[in-house]
Amino acid sequence: KNAFSFAEAMKFLAQKYGIKYEVSDNYKEASTEYEEIYNVLKDSAEFFIQKLSSAEGKKCRDYFKSRQFTQKTIEEFQLGYSPNSFDALSKYLIERGYEEEIIAKSGMNVQNENNRVYDRFRDRAMFPVYDTFGRIIGFGARLLNDDKTQPKYLNSPQTKVYDKSRTLYGLYQSKNTIIDKKFAILVEGYADVITLYQNGFKNAIASSGTSLTADQLKLLSRFSKNLTIVYDSDSAGINAAERAIDIALQNGFNPNVISLPSGEDPDSIVRDKGNKAFQNYLDNQMNFLDFIFEINSNNPQFENVLGKTEVIKKIMLTINLVPDEVQKDLLIQEL
């Protein structure tokens, strides 16, 4: 889903094929609101880019430097800084003629219990989120101070143009490479996507702060149905990988898995050990059957017949998620 309203979709197709198209006043009004939201988000990104160059933005520049992001990468992903202010962005947008209501509908401000309106993102590194047409539809934001009362990562709320369960971070930048390489690399964080992209692994995506969903896979399926899932090898990472495998199989995908050492992620692997280290993980990725077998074979119960039987049952339950009967039979033959 690309967050097109019906009117927008019809207008897009009409313009593409040179067809005259007229819409009703109601559709015109809805389309205008969508366009305003996109403009608010675009101007917000420009504001954050400006603030990144300010004196206050140094802490954010230092954070990006610590991640080894180049200036070219920062510009390509339009990374920025939201200042530690309750209303700097709101004032900037209002000066440009936007009303508070449309700023709120864009997800860029918040109203508290005392009806005070303030900027949603403050003192954070800003990561714009794009739809597949290259329009900014929301933001991911990383906290840059030590305020323990605030979440480390904060995402835009659901709006008319942004639904994180239907969005894959980095897909706009990576879609052509995914088509060329015939697979996508699924990672966990914004920095993982950007570091991999910067270092030549330009087919990386992330699930935008949510578990992988069927809607995200439907979006990805337009470019490839081969998915390499990269997760930490701790228990939380393994559980997340198993969930991703299940939903990938249910949606007709071919999932492989890379299990990184506990505490490592693609960002740290590439920064600390280099491209060849991550390429080595890619070259040795496991198919999902080998992954499930391996994580269960480490269990002491696997040493007895009952334990092995339970592992086989678990693998069969996973295979049964495959909707295609021919593929299912081929997978069973691999056991």
What are the tens digits of pLDDT across the range 158-183?
Answer: 999 999 999 999 999 999 999 999 99
- Assess whether pLDDT exceeds 50 at residue 215: yes
Contact 242, 281 (CB under 8 A): no
Question: Between 11 and 82, whose confidence is greater?
Answer: 82
Contact 179, 143 (CB under 8 A): no
Copy the structure tokens of residue 278.
């991550």
Domain positions in the chain = 39-162, 171-334
- Residue ranges of the alpha helices (H) in 205-304? 214-220, 235-250, 266-273, 275-283, 288-297
Q: Identify the band that residue 6 occupies on the pLDDT scale cut at 50, 70 and 90.
A: low
Question: What is d(CA 192, CA 286) in angstroms, rounded to the nearest whole number?
Answer: 20
% pLDDT > 70, the chain: 92
Mapping DSSP to helix (H, G, I), strand (E, B) and coil, where does residue 67 land? Answer: coil
- Assess whether pLDDT exceeds 80 at residue 156: yes
- Assess whether pLDDT exceeds 80 at residue 297: no
Copy the structure tokens of residue 324.
């295609």
Question: Between 300 and 26, whose confidence is greater?
Answer: 300
- Assess whether pLDDT exceeds 60 at residue 68: yes
Instruction: Check residue 29 and give its pLDDT.
Output: 58
Question: Between 172 and 13, whose confidence is greater?
Answer: 172
Instruction: Check residue 273 and give its pLDDT.
Output: 95
Instruction: Check residue 138 and give its pLDDT.
Output: 98
Question: Between 16 and 207, whose confidence is greater?
Answer: 207
CATH code reported for the domain at 39-162: 3.90.980.10
% pLDDT > 90, the chain: 67
Q: What does the pLDDT look like over 237-296, one tens digit per residue?
A: 888 899 999 999 999 999 999 989 888 999 999 999 999 999 999 999 999 999 988 887
Task: Write the CA distances from 135 to 111, 125, 179, 224, 298, integer angstroms.
Answer: 26, 19, 20, 22, 46
**DSSP assignment of 128-194, as one string?**
EEE-TTS-EEEEEEEE-S--TTS-SEEEPPP-SS--GGG--BTHHHHHHHHHHHT-EEEESSHHHHH
Q: What is the mean pLDDT of the chain?
A: 90
Instruction: Check residue 250 and give its pLDDT.
Output: 95
Q: What does the pLDDT look like over 27-46, one tens digit per residue?
A: 555 678 999 999 999 999 99
Q: What does the pLDDT look like over 315-329, one tens digit per residue?
A: 888 888 888 888 888
Contact 174, 184 (CB under 8 A): yes
- Assess whether pLDDT exceeds 50 at residue 94: yes
Question: Between 314 and 248, whose confidence is greater?
Answer: 248
Instruction: Check residue 1 and give its pLDDT.
Output: 42
Instruction: Check residue 25 and give its pLDDT.
Output: 53
CATH code reported for the domain at 171-334: 3.40.1360.10
Mapping DSSP to helix (H, G, I), strand (E, B) and coil, where does residue 216 land? Answer: helix
